[in-house]
Amino acid sequence: MKLNTILDRTDTDEVLREIAALPTYRTVQVRGVRQESPSVHYQFYAELDRVNESWYYFRDVAGGQARSYSDGVIRSSDPAIEVDYPRGMPSEMQMLDPRHLHMWGGHSSFYPILAQDIGQHSSLITFEHTDDPATRPTLAIDKRTGIASRMVNLGEITILTDVRVNVPLIRPESVTFKPITDLIRPNY
């Protein structure tokens, strides 16, 4: 991946290939927080089984909302929805396997314009909108796991606060979250 230089739209496939080559885990379990506006945020818990292409997602909105996907079916409420993997995956889930984020050229109006190493083990990728160059989402990717640990997109911020790879997946019926009382410090 070209670092610290402006990328062209034609570099998108190369950047995506290098990101796709990073993940080394079979399963991942995470907790995180998403801020949609200064006054709206929620916490979430997610599990992804990359091998079996299944996932579980729970967020602390309105008493708790759970969704899951396995065997071609998303289950959240009746009726269940049949879709091909990875369609229907919340963006917080897509961060666990960034190949599926809707920010890669052919899938959206965004393409990567800059890749930088940050901290001890992360890369920061800045994207640009094809019609508005001032619209620039960012994605911090942990090079040890290939997981996007932080995403800032159009005023929304999503941060993974606890990441565990290659652990048994439990799909809990409910999840307890600790209140957020301080700034979430980055671990790059």
Q: How many CB atoms lie within 10 A of CB 77?
A: 10
pTM of the entire structure? 0.92
pLDDT in tens, the chain (188 residues): 899 999 999 999 999 999 999 978 999 999 999 999 888 899 999 999 999 999 999 999 877 889 999 999 999 867 899 999 998 899 999 999 999 998 886 667 899 999 999 999 999 999 999 999 999 999 999 999 999 999 999 889 999 999 999 999 999 988 999 998 888 988 99
**CA-based nearest residue to 25, from 9, 48, 55, 59:** 48
CA distances (Å), 120 to each of 68, 117, 150, 183, in order?
34, 8, 15, 20
For the stretch 34-43, pLDDT in tens is: 999 888 899 9
Helix and strand numbers, DSSP H then E, in the chain? 2, 11
Which residue ranges make up each domain of the chain? 9-165
- Topology adopted by domain 9-165: outer membrane lipoprotein receptor (LolB), chain A (2.50.20)
